[in-house]
Structure 1
Amino acid sequence: MNSYPDLPRTGRRPRRTARTLTAVAVVAAVAAGGTYAAGLPPFDDGGGPDPAAAATARAFLADWSAGRFPDAAARTTRPGRAEQVLGSFTTGLDIGRPKLTAEDPRDTGDGTVTVPFTARMPVTGLGTWTYSAKLPLREQAGGVWKVDWKLSLVHPRLSDTEKFRLEREETEPVEATDRDGETLSAATHPSLGPVLARLAGAADGGGPRGAVHLVDRATGTVRRTEVSFGGKDPAGDEGPVRTTLDADWQRAAENALARADGKNAALVALRIDDGEILAVANSPVSGFNRAVSGTYAPGSTWKIVTSGALLLKGAVAPDDVVDCPQYLTVGKRFQNVETSEHPGATFRKDFTESCNTAFISLRDKLGEGELGDVAKKYFGVGQTWHVGVPSYDGSVPVPRDATEKAASMIGQGRVQANPLIMASVTATAVSGTFHQPSLVAGTEDTTATTPLPARVVTQLRALMRATVTEGTARVLSDLPGEIGAKTGTAEVSDDQDNNGWMVAHRGDVAVACVVEEGVTGGGSAGPVLHALLSAVPES
């Protein structure tokens, strides 16, 4: 794809038993993360390794990360073996969508180019396994570069004699209550299944327990433990875990997700004044806790942070004219929904209509790493959060080139978030103060942020309110209360529909929703949030 549109189309501490459940022993491979690799220019050609080799490496990693194993394997010297290994590792180790960070390529002097990378493997229900590896590439006849297939590129210790095995410890279902003492369980609130599974051990700093072991292929003997998950075994029964959740909000959130038409989706609602989480809902109701641990490009909901960065330094004002052309080329062509345009538009109009080209045109108003700095300093994104369950806390890397900087302005490139993060971003934008989100009381808070100036808060609130009354979030305009919102549509890949996003605030509550392959934010996430806010009173 060549555009980034934003409109159509644009505990109780659990008792653990000693019994161990052993997962399928794996043959190989790691899935990697290069969610923005496809379409990026190759590494800069400064007389070093052939840029074509680096481009092949990034394309391979992007396919690997997305689960496109046949495509990834086709970029190797042994496609059949590579496809088998890449698939078996992901399945055998129960890895969700992983993330990979490539470093600069290195010429090894023996006719190969090496691309080091960091692999972050999310093991479902346990945590993330992080390690470093190297991707070798060799030039083939005709000047075509291929990944020189070998098991060690998956993981340095993977070999013909040793493989990996995942072991989990069985736990009893956690017992929990909401903020008022009402019992919560996967039976009464099905969407809480993946949340309560990770709440196990929250009070003791642990979580579900397990490990990835390196084992002898022939005998199954454990050679070493690569990574362990979970904390100490809790001593005794101290009663149900009291959470910050609100049973009414949780029920409303689960019911609202029915409007996602069976698509993978997630929703978070939290209190603006203290960050306490009122609802966490996931669809499907079992498996991955995408609401808290998911990694998504936030699309144009990220324009809240981008606008905050621009307004902070006085680089733009709401009434300034910032033209919104159909196209803008920054290394690649960016466009608006259906190549729409708004000649002579003000920045307010650009925000409410989510004009990609206008925001990208302002990229030079911000320093290379300034967007990430603002996200961390004012919004807490990228700092370490202690929510009460394992969470992904966002990433806004310094752009590697002009194209990636342009993409980051509109929540694409390597910007990563999830509904928890975007609900928190919304709460910070409209209150001026970041509060670390929490699911249980007494969680450690190591974050350090600076309040947004009052003038910036006023401007952001006005922009979000206008988006409801006259912009892309009009789906919420018939609801009572001074609701403010922002839509978002995030590209995923050429063979997948866009993810739909919407964030909103009303009273003391901020909410965020993502619908995978929802096509547009207003059309997919919009009805979900409308159903949610219709079902609960303003607080």
Structure 2
Amino acid sequence: MTHHSSPRGRTRLPSSLKAAVAVTVVLAVAAGGAYAAGLGPFDRGDDDALDPAAAAQARAFLADWAGGRLDGAAARTTNPATAQEVLRNFTAGLDISKPRLTAARATRGDDGSVRVPFTAKMPVTGLGTWTYTSQLPLREQKNGGWKVDWRLSLVHPHLSESAKFRLEREDTAAPKVTDRRGASLTGDSYPSLQAVLGQFAGGGGGPRGAIRLVDRVTGHVEGTETGFGKGEKDAGADEPVATTLDASWQSAAEKSMAKAGGKNASLVALRVDNGEVLAMANSPATGFNRAVSGTYAPGSTWKIVTSSALLLKGAVAPDTVVDCPKHLTVGKEFHNVETSEFPGASFRKDFTESCNTAFISLRGKLGGSELGDVARKYFGVGQEWHVGIPSYDGSVPVPGDETEKAASMIGQGRIQANPLIMASVTATAASGTFHQPVIVRGGRNTTTTTPLPGSVVTQLRDLMRATVTEGTAHVLADLPGEIGAKTGTAEVSEGEPNNGWLVARRGNVAVACVVEQGVTGGGSAGPILHSLLSAVPGDPS
């Protein structure tokens, strides 16, 4: 759920709000090591012909900030030391993770500077998303390059030498939660829901808190930038939250996580016909809800979307010959898992064996933005979802060059997803119609999508079924039912084991699982989904 920031003013929180956790953002320069994290979501804004070099520098600054590469972002400013400390204290002090920063069209000032407005969506851990707008000032340097002209107000317009932000949290009991049939769901009975239960609004009120603007010297509250959660006297505060979860599926999902072998993993199971979430599990059970808030490269499971884009425009058919060599160089060398090759392979063979080089060789069949357009238009990826708990809804940026375009064809590069997104992609491919995933019925739906043509759906189903019967998802072949699936192996970083993915559809259920450092999808996520589908052999009622 996205919370939009209120205008600056004298808004007061209820007197009952307890500053159980109060974190002050300290903006003094202090010594500290560089903070680094994996790539975060970053949307490319409109390219600007005003000054491409300035616009590119602004986008690079935002990408580094969003990705946690704060030393890199700071180096793009006129005051790197201060910038790095401010950005670190802002994100860490306000408990912000994985910012999403979207640049808009640049404008030029009378003094020759360039300004790039941007929208910031800042997920505050356990509370929600703080959304606001700001702008980056850029100045041309003596060497002809451009740098971000550092000032506090570019981080947030209200941040200044006299005012800073403070995060306050209120301790609240987790709400009472029930499954689709009214059975109670508790963290004791379903440990993997511990990361989820406190995210629901209603019941006990859900997590509450606020980001306050305070005077640096006196600590006096000048205003409330944004609030999270409901007030104590909200109507229905004693009513349990009725979810779409199914106790049988949830129990099976919890047990299947044991197959992760101690690795970080998560899965989502949902109904194909309406997007209702049946189960959501994480390993370890406590902490980050990576199933819906994680940001992962989806690897070859994304080939479902890539195949849809190619099939939609008639660029290939299942029997089209698309050679699958061991290696293919597009700026860098791409290869298949275990450097496999299939000379003279059909597109069907390329899909079932998950041939990276074949898919990359087809990149010229799609325009620069076409993969993202298809993901958004037909699969809802990148649109704003209202699931019922905070979620990350995916990102498919326009590739910056041919190497990145090649990577995007196989679910790498800057494409970001999670098990919720990929379970939804699988359901859409199976039915042809996107249904916004929900875990609480009756919420908002602001998505707009177009159904896939029936011929494309038929081909996708056949390709996914063949992947089970004769391809890389054969780990599911012994299970009853016409199961269709797609494996995925996603590179993380040099020298690190790959993440393993598997998505599958059986009857009216679509499932997706990722295992961090699982190496291969079939070998790591395969046993987890095999265990889940074995435990609940039928469709939910």
Give the TM-score category using the shorter length. 0.7 to 0.9
Matching of residues 434-473 of structure 1 within 5 Å:
434-473=434-473
Q: For residue 529 of structure 2, what is the aligned residue in structure 1?
A: 529
CA distance in 2, matches of 1:261, 1:411: 25
- Amino acid corresponding to residue 461 of structure 1 in structure 2: R
Secondary structure of 2:199's aligned partner: helix
CA distance in 2, matches of 1:519, 1:133: 41
Query: Which deviates further from its counterpart, 102-111 or 493-502?
Result: 102-111
Matching of residues 244-393 of structure 1 within 5 Å:
244-393=244-393
CA RMSD of aligned residues (A): 3.6
Q: For residue 219 of structure 1, what is the aligned residue in structure 2?
A: 218
CA distance in 2, matches of 1:408, 1:111: 37
The C-alpha deviation readout for 1:336-367, integer Å capped at 9, x for no partner, is: 33444322111011111212222222233334
Q: Does 1:510 align with 2:510?
A: yes
CA distance in 2, matches of 1:276, 1:508: 11
- Amino acid corresponding to residue 310 of structure 2 in structure 1: L
Instruction: Check 1:218–1:403 CA distance in 2 against 1; reply closer, same or farther (3 A cut).
Output: same
Query: Which deviates further from its counterpart, 436-445 or 174-183?
Result: 436-445
Instruction: Check 1:257–1:537 CA distance in 2 against 1; reply closer, same or farther (3 A cut).
Output: same
What residue ranges of structure 2 are gaps of 5+ in the alignment? 1-14, 29-34
Instruction: Check 1:498–1:76 CA distance in 2 against 1; reply closer, same or farther (3 A cut).
Output: farther
Instruction: Check 1:414–1:202 CA distance in 2 against 1; reply closer, same or farther (3 A cut).
Output: farther
The C-alpha deviation readout for 1:160-209, integer Å capped at 9, x for no partner, is: 22211112233221111112222101121121122211112289xx8533
- Amino acid corresponding to residue 435 of structure 1 in structure 2: H
Matching of residues 198-213 of structure 1 within 5 Å:
198-201=199-202, 208-213=207-212
What residue ranges of structure 1 are gaps of 5+ in the alignment? 1-15
- Contact 2:172 2:206 survives alignment (8 Å): no
CA distance in 2, matches of 1:329, 1:103: 33
Query: Which deviates further from its counterpart, 430-439 or 327-336?
Result: 327-336
Secondary structure of 1:500's aligned partner: strand
Q: Tell me by how many angstroms 1:149 deviates.
A: 4.4
Q: For residue 13 of structure 1, what is the aligned residue in structure 2?
A: none
Instruction: Check 1:409–1:123 CA distance in 2 against 1; reply closer, same or farther (3 A cut).
Output: same
CA distance in 1, matches of 2:341, 2:192: 41
CA distance in 2, matches of 1:155, 1:264: 34
Secondary structure of 2:218's aligned partner: coil
Query: Which deviates further from its counterpart, 337-346 or 275-284?
Result: 337-346
CA distance in 1, matches of 2:77, 2:338: 37
CA distance in 1, matches of 2:324, 2:41: 25
CA distance in 2, matches of 1:376, 1:46: 26
Q: For residue 174 of structure 1, what is the aligned residue in structure 2?
A: 175
- Amino acid corresponding to residue 216 of structure 2 in structure 1: R
Secondary structure of 1:213's aligned partner: strand
Secondary structure of 2:442's aligned partner: coil
Q: For residue 491 of structure 1, what is the aligned residue in structure 2?
A: 491
Query: Which deviates further from its counterpart, 326-335 or 174-183?
Result: 326-335
Q: For residue 100 of structure 2, what is the aligned residue in structure 1?
A: 99
Q: Tell me by how many angstroms 1:510 deviates.
A: 0.9
- Contact 1:125 1:287 survives alignment (8 Å): no
Q: Tell me by how many angstroms 1:269 deviates.
A: 0.5
Instruction: Check 1:109–1:375 CA distance in 2 against 1; reply closer, same or farther (3 A cut).
Output: same
CA distance in 2, matches of 1:410, 1:79: 36
Matching of residues 151-170 of structure 1 within 5 Å:
151-170=152-171
Q: For residue 85 of structure 2, what is the aligned residue in structure 1?
A: 84
- Contact 2:426 2:505 survives alignment (8 Å): yes
The C-alpha deviation readout for 1:354-401, integer Å capped at 9, x for no partner, is: 122222222333344333333233323333433222333333344454
Q: For residue 427 of structure 2, what is the aligned residue in structure 1?
A: 427
Secondary structure of 2:500's aligned partner: strand
Q: For residue 126 of structure 1, what is the aligned residue in structure 2?
A: 127
Q: Tell me by how many angstroms 1:118 deviates.
A: 3.2
- Contact 1:21 1:170 survives alignment (8 Å): yes
Q: For residue 411 of structure 1, what is the aligned residue in structure 2?
A: 411
Q: Tell me by how many angstroms 1:487 deviates.
A: 1.4
- Contact 2:48 2:55 survives alignment (8 Å): no
Q: Tell me by how many angstroms 1:34 deviates.
A: 6.1
CA distance in 2, matches of 1:392, 1:293: 5
Q: For residue 228 of structure 1, what is the aligned residue in structure 2?
A: 227
TM-score, normalised relative to structure 1? 0.84
CA distance in 2, matches of 1:73, 1:373: 32
- Contact 2:503 2:512 survives alignment (8 Å): yes
Matching of residues 469-484 of structure 1 within 5 Å:
469-484=469-484
Instruction: Check 1:471–1:108 CA distance in 2 against 1; reply closer, same or farther (3 A cut).
Output: farther
Instruction: Check 1:493–1:227 CA distance in 2 against 1; reply closer, same or farther (3 A cut).
Output: farther
Secondary structure of 2:180's aligned partner: coil
Identity among equivalent pairs (%) = 71
Instruction: Check 1:491–1:63 CA distance in 2 against 1; reply closer, same or farther (3 A cut).
Output: farther
Q: Tell me by how many angstroms 1:317 deviates.
A: 0.8
CA distance in 2, matches of 1:537, 1:223: 58
The C-alpha deviation readout for 1:470-514, integer Å capped at 9, x for no partner, is: 222222233333221111223344475433221111232110112
Secondary structure of 1:90's aligned partner: helix
Kindly tell me the number of residue pairs found equivalent between the two proteins.
Answer: 518
Q: Tell me by how many angstroms 1:292 deviates.
A: 1.8
Secondary structure of 1:307's aligned partner: helix
- Amino acid corresponding to residue 366 of structure 1 in structure 2: L
Secondary structure of 1:23's aligned partner: strand
Instruction: Check 1:200–1:44 CA distance in 2 against 1; reply closer, same or farther (3 A cut).
Output: closer
Q: Tell me by how many angstroms 1:270 deviates.
A: 0.9
Secondary structure of 1:525's aligned partner: helix
The C-alpha deviation readout for 1:423-452, integer Å capped at 9, x for no partner, is: 111112112232222212333444443333
CA distance in 1, matches of 2:174, 2:50: 58
Secondary structure of 2:354's aligned partner: coil
- Amino acid corresponding to residue 374 of structure 1 in structure 2: V
Instruction: Check 1:121–1:262 CA distance in 2 against 1; reply closer, same or farther (3 A cut).
Output: farther
- Contact 1:31 1:64 survives alignment (8 Å): no
- Contact 1:468 1:476 survives alignment (8 Å): yes
CA distance in 2, matches of 1:202, 1:451: 36
CA distance in 2, matches of 1:123, 1:383: 20
Instruction: Check 1:270–1:244 CA distance in 2 against 1; reply closer, same or farther (3 A cut).
Output: same
CA distance in 2, matches of 1:84, 1:387: 35
- Amino acid corresponding to residue 271 of structure 1 in structure 2: R
The C-alpha deviation readout for 1:253-275, integer Å capped at 9, x for no partner, is: 12222333333322100122222
CA distance in 2, matches of 1:219, 1:277: 48
Instruction: Check 1:331–1:424 CA distance in 2 against 1; reply closer, same or farther (3 A cut).
Output: same
TM-score, normalised relative to structure 2? 0.83
- Contact 1:33 1:100 survives alignment (8 Å): no
Q: For residue 9 of structure 2, what is the aligned residue in structure 1?
A: none
CA distance in 1, matches of 2:57, 2:494: 17
- Contact 2:203 2:240 survives alignment (8 Å): no
